[in-house]
Structure formats: structure tokens, C-alpha cells
Amino acid sequence: MEASQSVPRGPWDVAYYQEQGLYFHLVEVSEVEPGSPRVRVTDRGEMLMFGSYAYLGLIGHPAINRAAQDAIARYGTGTNGVRLLAGTLPLHNELEASIAAFKGAEAAIAFASGYIANISTISALLERHDTVICDKLDHASIVDGCLLAGAKLVRFRHNDLDHLAKRLEQADPAHQRMVIVDGVYSMDGDIADLPGIRALCDRYGALLMVDEAHSLGVLGATGTGIEEHFGMAPSAVDVKMGTFSKAIPSVGGYVAGAAEMIIALKHKARGFIYSAAIPPPSAAASIAALQLIRDEPERVQRLQQRFAYFLDRLKAAGFNVLASQAAVAPIVCGSDERAVRLMMHCVDRGIFIQAILPPVVPTGLARLRATVTANHSIEDIDHAVEVLTEGAQRLGVL
């Protein structure tokens, strides 16, 4: 196959993508070691994981595995269909009650993924003449939901409250206005200014939705998320969205909030009505994980301490970690080439870490996106920072 043209000949012009350096290899993690940040990677062997979303290190936890196995024994691996028809099990109702209680909400609805939760909820809650105001760095699934809703989509500069106020001022007050932010930004690790954003929403009568994919289990003394982090009441967020695929080691998404809103979503959200229910072992795993977080909040505190230590060490070494505060440490490298070379330097030394390049992040801000979990020891973190520092000095990142 040959590719020398400047645009792809079609959506599967593989030669073009290879030539442009856009061809993506899916790394295969062939074994995990429960309770440890070590994984086995096909063709590479054992590696120290610094790119996991499983912030609390709960993948493979015996209580969660047992719950999933019991659910398979009782219900099998799938459901009889979508939730609205024959797909609802007691496990789904229990999961919704658990996450509602965890988030201090009246009720909740569970979806098959966080992506589906976002696109279905936003498109169900908004209509054509409404205005939806998103932070510039909101997750792609939020943007897709806004596009699907057909509402007027406007963006405000990242975490810039003056700009948000301007956007709210410009929005048509005759129709609904909704502000949507991420709790913790997945590529930058900074936290939405919830008190400031809530105050603006109150001033303009706008609804507030927060995506807690990276803040559930991560923020707050007991891991309940962004309201706890800021010492605010659960009512500070109207539409509380999150996933069961990160700190909670399963799959699925949720929205929690007022009971009436949840009933409306169960009747209107197309991803709930037209897509299969969460499989029994996954629902059971999420329930067990929520229980574990409640029973053993020390895991949340350990994650917060380990992350703060990691961030301090990176800053002391001179890395640019932007305004990161939680979950995700961006290690800015500048050019794409430097980011890829630094990633390879780490990978060759047994550190699993990934480079994030434009268009996912702005040009000139290519970075490594590093995460730690509650399972990382101080020695693991020291080792990774040493490897990163050595590579960065060699490549001129530092």
C-alpha cells in the first residue's frame, strides 16, 4: 500500500495514517496483579503502571471479584434486553440506589457506559432553543451530547469564570440554560471551581451538570466527589454524572439528582431506552466497589497523599504540570516528537505511561499523562520520577 497524498482517500486509508504517524497501536495488558500497580504487557513483560484510570487500585479486589462471580452464578453474563423491556434486574435497582446514596441524591439512573450516560442525558434534558455552555476542556462525550441535543452550544475558556459569566449573560433567558463542566479535567488534572460556577448558575437561573468520571472516589475525604471536596451540599450540582469505569473498576455510567429528573430520564434518555442494560457481573462489581469505598475510605486518603507526593516530586524536578491538583498529572513536553520520545524512554525502562498528542490537546502542549493509584508505593513513585527526569534531561524537556 502506498500513501503520499495529503488527505486520506477514505475513512480506512491505513497507509495514509501510517505515513502521517497517526497509526495507533493498541497495547495489550495481558495480566494484572490485584492490589499492585504492576501489570504484564504482551511483548514487553512486567511494567509499572502509570497510566491507569483505576485510581483506587481496586481492579481484581477479591470482594469485587466475588460479587461479580456470584452475579454470574445467579443471573448469567447478560440480560434479557434493554432496561425498559426485560433487562432490569434487582442488581440494577440496587446499583441506582447505591450511587444515589453515595452522591447524596434523591435518585439515580444507570447506563451501559459513561459515554452513553452523557450523550443520552444531555440530549434528553435540552431542546433546540436552549443554550448549553461548556468549558473548553469538557470531555468529548459531553460535546457529542450537546451536538445530539441540537441546543445552542457555546464554550467558555477553561475554568475562566468571567468568561462563563459573559456566556450566561449572552444566553437567551426565555429558554433553558445549562452549564456543563468536568469535576477533574481528564487531560489536565485541575478541578472545576464549583463554588464560583454554582454562584453564577444561581445568578442566571441555569442548571449545572458536572461529569465526575475523574473525581468520583478521588475528591473529598471519603471520595464522594467534588461537592465534598469544596464542603458544599449535594444540592450544589443539579445533574451529577459519573462512570463506573475508573475508580470503580467496572463499566457503566450514572446520573444522580432529583427524583423527578431521573424519572424523566428513564422515559426520555435514548441510551437507556435503546441500549442493553449493564451486564449482571458489572452491576454487582460496581455495587461492591461503592460499598468498599464507604467501608474503607483510607484508600481514598492514600490516593490523595500519593498523588500529592507525585506532583510535588515532578514540580521539584522542574516539570511543567500545568495547574494539576488531582488524579491526572500532565507532564508537558511541548513538541509531539519529544512527548513520544519521552514516553518510549519510560516504556523501555518498564514504566507504562502514555503520550497525549494534538488534536486531543492543543498544539505545542503534547504531554505524558501520568496517573498514580492508591496501590503505588513511595518507592514506585520515586523510581518513575527518576526515570522521567533522566529522560527529560536527555531529550531537552527539562
Hey, which residues are catalytic here? 186, 214, 246
| Binding pattern for the stretch 159-188 against ligand PLP, x by CB under 6 A and - elsewhere | -----------------------x---x--
Minimum CB distance to ligand PLP smaller for 118 or for 120: 118
As measured in angstroms, the least distance from the Cβ of 187 to ligand PLP is 9
Minimum CB distance to ligand PLP smaller for 121 or for 186: 186
Calculate the CA dihedral of residues 114, 289, 384, 50 and round it to 10 degrees.
-20
Calculate the CA dihedral of residues 319, 325, 326, 327 and round it to 10 degrees.
-30
Separation of CA 23 from chain center: 24
Judged by CB under 6 A, the number of residues near ligand PLP is 14
Among 213, 277, 293, 374, contact with ligand PLP (rule: CB under 6 A): 213
Minimum CB distance to ligand PLP smaller for 79 or for 186: 186
- Cα within 13 Å of Cα(149), Cβ side: 30
Among 249, 253, 280, 391, contact with ligand PLP (rule: CB under 6 A): 253
| Binding pattern for the stretch 108-147 against ligand PLP, x by CB under 6 A and - elsewhere | -----xxx--x--------------------x-x------
Q: Is 243 in the site for ligand PLP (CB under 6 A)?
A: yes
DSSP assignment of 206-271, as one string? -EEEEE-TTTTTTSSTTS--HHHHTT--GGG-SEEEEESSSSSSS--EEEEE-HHHHHHHHHH-HH
| Residue in the block written with cell 436552549 | 130
Q: Residue 193: which of 226, 163, 224 has the closest Cα?
A: 226
**Region near ligand PLP per CB under 6 A, out of 85-93, 107-115, 280-288, 373-381:** 107-115
Q: Which residue is nearest to ligand PLP (CB)?
A: 114
Distance CA 106, CA 210 (A): 16
As measured in angstroms, the least distance from the Cβ of 112 to ligand PLP is 9
**What region does 27 belong to: left with phi over 0, alpha with psi -120 to 50, or beta?**
beta
58: cell is: 481496586
Minimum CB distance to ligand PLP smaller for 210 or for 333: 210
**Region near ligand PLP per CB under 6 A, out of 14-22, 121-129, 206-214, 218-226:** 206-214
| Binding pattern for the stretch 56-95 against ligand PLP, x by CB under 6 A and - elsewhere | ----------------------------------------
Among 135, 188, 190, 211, contact with ligand PLP (rule: CB under 6 A): 211
In the chain, the N- to C-terminal Cα span, in Å, equals 40
DSSP state of 184: B
Q: Is 209 in the site for ligand PLP (CB under 6 A)?
A: no
- Strand pairing partners for 331? 368
The DSSP bridge pattern shows strands 38-41 and 328-334 to be unpaired
Minimum CB distance to ligand PLP smaller for 134 or for 387: 134
Q: Residue 50: which of 320, 307, 357, 252 has the closest Cα?
A: 307
As measured in angstroms, the least distance from the Cβ of 16 to ligand PLP is 27
Positions that interact with ligand PLP (CB under 6 A): 113-115, 118, 139, 141, 182, 186, 211, 213-214, 243, 245, 253
